[in-house]
Amino acid sequence: MTTGPTDRNILKVVAKTFRVIEVVAQHSDGIQLGELARKCEKAPKATVFRILHTLKALGYVQQDEVTGAYRLTHELAWLGRSETRDTLKRAARPHLERLRAQFEQTVGLAVLDHDQLLYIEILEGLRSVRMNATVNTYAPLHCTSLGKAILSKLDAEELARVLGRKPLPKLTSKTITSIAQLEKHLAEVRSQGHAVDDEETEQGARCVGAVICGRQGKPVGAISVSGPLSSIPLDRVPAIAREVKKACKAISELLGAQDSAADPSAPPRKK
């Protein structure tokens, strides 16, 4: 660290925290506590542990259950979220408009925000029916097609952390509230490359969503087409899913994702 020892305005714990983040960021495969403490100017291991514990509780760091190594989560990628989300919105806008024109239903763009789904762009459908979601509002991850699409691309450790933070609320009679059942369902989502919210969030509504990935294959957002059951019957889902996945793949590539990472049907990378 470059801060002077005589500067009384410097909060040492903040400086140490950012040093920990810097070092962990340099080890994408993870770093052990002892090595991390040595690289942090030989900071006391107990201090580094407490910093890591705090960052882990806040969702910025995760720990491998087998090796014990620490690495950063996707949350830190969103610290500059205003600019990053604006970039995502600009990249997605033409595809959102195309999907709305093609299916005449509401199209939404959302991101993962502290274990919740945050809507950052919604284009109302060309029909008179309006959906409940609005821009800058939150929704659960476990029952929305957008949320399930994002969850399907998290690695096993981060998925367990997100799902284990709080109970899964039951919004309708079709909402999945069992973590084991949801994990089984997410395996299907991962395999087919898209998710369906079949009256799990709102009775009488069906949504089809897919994930947008960034440079390292991590989920950075998702797109969905939503409408009443009469406008999105089950036999129409495959055609909608195909177009939503096509849009997400194109956006992922614009954001710098590699081919396998940009393909929403590709399996998540093993850590």
Confidence of residue 157 (pLDDT cuts 50, 70, 90): confident
Domains of the chain, first to last: 12-72 (1.10.10.10), 80-262 (3.30.450.40)
Res 140 pLDDT > 80 = yes
pLDDT tens digits, one per residue of 23-77: 988 887 889 999 999 888 778 899 999 999 999 888 888 888 889 999 888 766 6
Environment class of 246 (CB within 10 Å of its CB; exposed 0-12, middle 13-18, buried 19+):
middle
- Strands 205-213 and 219-228 turn out to be antiparallel
Whether the Cβ atoms of residue 103 and residue 225 lie closer than 8 Å to each other: yes
Mean pLDDT of 256-266: 62
Q: In percent, how much of the chain has pLDDT > 70?
A: 87
The per-residue b/e assignment along 117-128, b for 16 or more CB within 10 angstroms, e otherwise, is bbbbbbbebeee
Res 9 pLDDT > 50 = yes
pLDDT averaged over every residue in the chain: 87
Residue 58: its pLDDT value, please?
Answer: 85
Residue 264: its pLDDT value, please?
Answer: 55
Residue 87: its pLDDT value, please?
Answer: 86
pLDDT top residue among 170 and 166: 170
| Alpha helices (H) in the chain, listed in sequence order | 12-25, 33-39, 45-57, 81-103, 145-151, 156-164, 179-192, 237-254, 259-262
Measured CA to CA in angstroms, residue 253 lies from 39, 77, 226, 260 at distances of 35, 18, 24, 10
In whole angstroms, give the CA distance from residue 206 to residue 229.
6
Confidence of residue 187 (pLDDT cuts 50, 70, 90): very high
Q: Strand pairing partners for 195?
A: 209
Mean pLDDT of 246-271: 72
In whole angstroms, give the CA distance from residue 48 to residue 34.
9
Global model pTM greater than 0.75: no
